Amino acid sequence: MEAFQWQQARSPAEAAALVTQTTAEAMLTLHDTPIAQQAILVKAGGVDMLDLMKEGLVNPLRLVDVSRLAELQGISRGSDGSLRIGALTTLAQIAADTGLRQSHAALAQAAAMAASPQIRNRATLGGNLLQRPRCWYLRSAAHHCLRKGGGHCFAFAGDNRYHAVFANHGCAIVHPSTPATALLAFHAQVELLHPQGQRRQVPLEDFFVLPEADMHRENILAAGEILTAVWLPPQIQTNRSIYFQVAEREAFDWPLAAVAVVMDLDAAGLCQEASIVLGAAAPAPWRARQAEALLRGAAIHGETAEAAGEAALAGATPLAQNAYKLPLLAALVRRAVLAAAALPQDPRAP
């Protein structure tokens, strides 16, 4: 890690005015050219930023620390039931919030399953959404991959067992954020602050970028913009939600597959609306739209849940070593649909 300057931001607007590049832009290099020490980058919890610096992937001139800005912290509730979660709210705070665990259970569950207790107490929601992918080729200074300005994706001919099974043409990263899977299922929006003080809200689904749209970044955050908050719309009383994931280890591991399900069930048990989002499956949290359409207007039982699991795999293009993710995702969708509807699981099913 190279020497760098440190500056404490006094306000979000000051931080936005100081920052010259996004982390993705700072990682773009010409082949065999050392990373220039010129970028001024923002730091919140610092979990991912310090990793990238230690790995020699970014070499900032200065870090602007926003971690002490009170206006970016905490969870507030509007009179209409909407929620604003400050970008500096930690994953531990989200997981422990009693109100969230009742109204947005899938989000609290996803936050509780991320990383380790130590990291959850330090990692912020904003930083978690903006972290760079964990692809080992992107994270290797020895591999000048497409995402860093190189010529090709090493994952296609290399070790791709943890890579994407959807939208993986050109670049096969998976988005690393666990809460993002649940947030997308709740139709969340992100609040972005421009240096001149203007704020804009962007649906999370539009905030993330697939490789076919931009090979070098995962979101539309512009240089000089700060992610200040996440907004959640009010949930109706009949909404149920749940988050499931499977990993090689129960503790401190990245999911192999994940799913968040939000359903609105009427008094007769019919699904009025459904949102199903797959995690660890694509370069962005992946809406299983065919599965959602299958559930709308249907009675929820074992057969419809199993059909939804199969429908969630529509359009999958697994690579040489990661086809195992497909049955995992199908099983997680089936289990999540039944669990959200509070129906018993078939012990004979996978």
pLDDT tens for each residue of 141-189: 999 999 999 989 999 999 999 999 999 999 999 999 999 999 999 999 9
138 falls within a domain: no
Are 243 and 191 found together in one domain? Answer: no
Range of the domain at 299: 239-342
160 falls within a domain: no
At 40-60, the pLDDT tens digits run 999 999 999 999 999 999 999
Burial of 250 (0-12, 13-18, 19+ CB in 10 A): exposed
Q: Give the chain's residues under pLDDT 50.
A: none
313 falls within a domain: yes
Are 317 and 190 found together in one domain? Answer: no
303 falls within a domain: yes
Are 317 and 186 found together in one domain? Answer: no
Are 266 and 334 found together in one domain? Answer: yes
- According to the model, what pLDDT value does residue 343 have? 66
Are 222 and 255 found together in one domain? Answer: no
**Spatial distance between the Cα atoms of 126 and 227, rounded to a whole number of angstroms:** 6
Which helix (H) or strand (E) element contains residue 185?
helix 178-185
Sequence-distant (6+) residues with CB within 8 A of 70 are none
- According to the model, what pLDDT value does residue 118 have? 94
The helix, strand and coil proportions of the chain, stated in percent and rounded to the nearest 5, come to 30, 20, 50
- According to the model, what pLDDT value does residue 288 have? 98
**Spatial distance between the Cα atoms of 101 and 90, rounded to a whole number of angstroms:** 15
What distances in angstroms separate CA 106 from CA 19, 80, 122, 181, 277, one per listed residue?
33, 20, 21, 9, 11
Sequence-distant (6+) residues with CB within 8 A of 33 are none
CA angle 139, 144, 146 (to 5 degrees): 90
349 falls within a domain: no
In 3-state terms, what secondary structure has residue 204? Answer: helix
How many residues does this entry show for the chain? 350
- According to the model, what pLDDT value does residue 10 have? 96
Q: Which of 212, 232, 252 is the last residue of a domain?
A: 232
253 falls within a domain: yes
Are 121 and 245 found together in one domain? Answer: no
Are 248 and 276 found together in one domain? Answer: yes
Are 215 and 255 found together in one domain? Answer: no
Tokens of 35: 């990373």
**Spatial distance between the Cα atoms of 283 and 166, rounded to a whole number of angstroms:** 8
123 falls within a domain: yes
Q: What is the CATH number of the domain that holds 195?
A: 3.30.465.10
Q: What is the CATH number of the domain that holds 297?
A: 3.30.390.50
Are 317 and 259 found together in one domain? Answer: yes
- According to the model, what pLDDT value does residue 250 have? 81
Are 222 and 313 found together in one domain? Answer: no
Are 223 and 81 found together in one domain? Answer: yes
- According to the model, what pLDDT value does residue 274 have? 97
Sequence-distant (6+) residues with CB within 8 A of 146 are 152, 153, 170, 171, 211, 215, 216
Are 210 and 323 found together in one domain? Answer: no
226 falls within a domain: yes
Shortest CA distance to 257 belongs to which of 322, 171, 344, 306? 322
- According to the model, what pLDDT value does residue 30 have? 58
Number of independent structural domains in the chain: 2
Give the number of other CB atoms < 10 A from CB of residue 3: 7
